[in-house]
Amino acid sequence: MGDILGYARVSTGDQDVAGQMIRLKAAGATRHFEDVVSGRTFDRPGLRALLEYARPGDLLMVVRLDRLGRSLRELLEVVERLKERSIALVSLEEKIDTSSVAGELVFHVFGAIAHFERRLIAERTRDGIAAARAEGRTPGRPPLNPEKLQASIILIQNGMSPTKAARQVGLGRSTVYRELAMMPSSARQTA
């Protein structure tokens, strides 16, 4: 049997991983990795270091599954990466151990539910688009108003920031930045 690698994560610097670390050590984790980062981002240096360190036969242990991933999709992706490398996952709160047949079954059930949810969302989207078309509406973004775009370019050329120019003419800031990026630099100066 390999090492038991503990992983703890908190969302902000105001929180403390100490409570998680105590539980992980008590459960037998011999090496610990941690992150102080929001679950919204998947750029987690501690988790990355754990995955680089882990070897086949090791076990990744967390206090709760939400410490490992914010969504079911993220969790399933991590578990699949672990499985490909012959590394099991244990969650203390949910009492899940993917090294056991029952634990693996639970994750397959989670995966089936996530797949079902994705298909429901796609079906609802298709239904919404069909209903909009039946009512004579065109789904999606409205076409870009060329006069508003030209006005924003003139404002930017006269020294206004793209953000203020977008607000002034009633366009989205990202739209103005995107259109600026697509224009050749000579056109930006003379537009």
Tell me: the pLDDT tens digits for 30-78? Answer: 999 998 876 566 678 898 899 899 999 999 999 988 888 777 777 778 8
Instruction: Tell me the per-residue pLDDT of 145-169, one tens digit each, with 9 for 90 and over.
Output: 999 999 999 999 999 999 999 999 9
SS (H, E, C) 147-190: HHHHHHHHHHHCCCCHHHHHHHHCCCHHHHHHHHHHCCHHHHHH
Give pLDDT tens digits for 81-135: 888 999 999 989 888 888 888 888 887 787 677 678 778 888 999 999 999 899 9
| Of 92, 115, 90, residue with least CA distance to 104 | 90
Q: Encoding tokens for residue 165?
A: 């120019």
Looking at the DSSP bridge assignments, the partners of residue 96 are 91
Is 38 a known active-site residue? Answer: no
Band the pLDDT of 6: cuts 50, 70, 90.
very high
Specify the higher pLDDT residue, 46 or 79.
Answer: 46
pTM: 0.57
Nearest to 156 by CA among 131, 141, 133, 173: 173
Query: pLDDT at residue 80 above 60?
Result: yes
Q: Choosing from 11, 99, 161, 185, which is the catalytic residue?
A: 11
